[in-house]
Structure formats: C-alpha cells, structure tokens
Amino acid sequence: MKRGFSSKEVVGLTGITPRQLQWWDERGIVVPSRAGRRRLYSVDDLAEIAVIVEMRRKGFSLQRMRKIMRFLEREFSRRLVDTIRRGSDTHLLTDGKNIFLEDSAQRVVDVLKNCRQPVFSICLSDTVRQVHADIRGWRKKAQQSVMPAARSGRQRRLA
C-alpha cells in the first residue's frame, strides 16, 4: 500500500478543497507528515479527512468535529480513525443532531453536550432476537406434542 498521499491526491479522493486541506493542517485538525515543503497524508489521515468531509456534508460543523477529535484524544488516547476501523471497541453514533460515543454495550456518551455524563442504552435488537427464539422454541414444542397424537390416531386406523 502507498506510504503517503499528496495534497492533490487527497483532494481528488475526498472532495475537499485544497484551501480547506491547508487550513485543517494549520489548525491542527488533520496534520500530515512533511517531505520538505510537501504534505504527505497517511492512509489514516485520508480516512479521517473522508469521515470529517462526510460529517460536514451531513450538517456537522468543523467545530463539532474538532471537539469530537479532541475528546477522543484526551479521554481515550485515540484518533477519530480508530473509532471507524473494523473491530473497534468504540463506535461513533449520531441521531443527526448529536454525536455519541459507544464504548461498551451498556454505555453511550454524548460527546458534544456533557462528555462526563454517560447515557445508558438498552439493546432492543437482542430483545427481539430472544422473542423470536422463544417463539421458535414454543412452536417446536407444540409440533412435537401434536405429532405423537397424530401418529397414534393413524396407527389405530391402520389396525
């Protein structure tokens, strides 16, 4: 895999403008490595830029994205890209207005309002799966109790 992407390549891959990319570097939002005067963006930098660009398209301000990134660095010593990797134990969630960080199955934190106050969630999909499993088990038991009765009636007719 390629070691670094030029600014021009990042612009082409993400749709960000060259000026935005430069400004983000100057403000410390996504800071690339340098090769002389050239900026070289890693795959992780590119992924973060793509996520930020998409969140901006969804209506989230750059200030909010910066706040999320600072929170992840301060509280979890992680970059934004670490939350979007496959197998990550933290996940960013949004309802379109707020951004939440899920760091366990029982805890979701509202990153933008009060970073210290957790929101506890209930996984309803697990409840629905359990109900479906209970229904399948109930039907299986019902079929098994009907089957012997049906067989014994058929055996009597044959005799």
pLDDT digits (tens, 9 = 90+) for 40-66: 999 889 889 988 998 888 888 999 889
Residue 88's DSSP bridge partners are: none
Q: Taking all residues of the chain, what is their mean pLDDT, rounded to a whole number?
A: 78
Closest CA to 33 of 45, 51, 22, 21: 45
Which pLDDT score is estimated for 109? 75
Q: 127 or 78: which carries more pLDDT confidence? A: 78
Residue 33's DSSP bridge partners are: 40
Spatial contact of 42 and 35, defined as CB atoms under 8 Å apart:
no
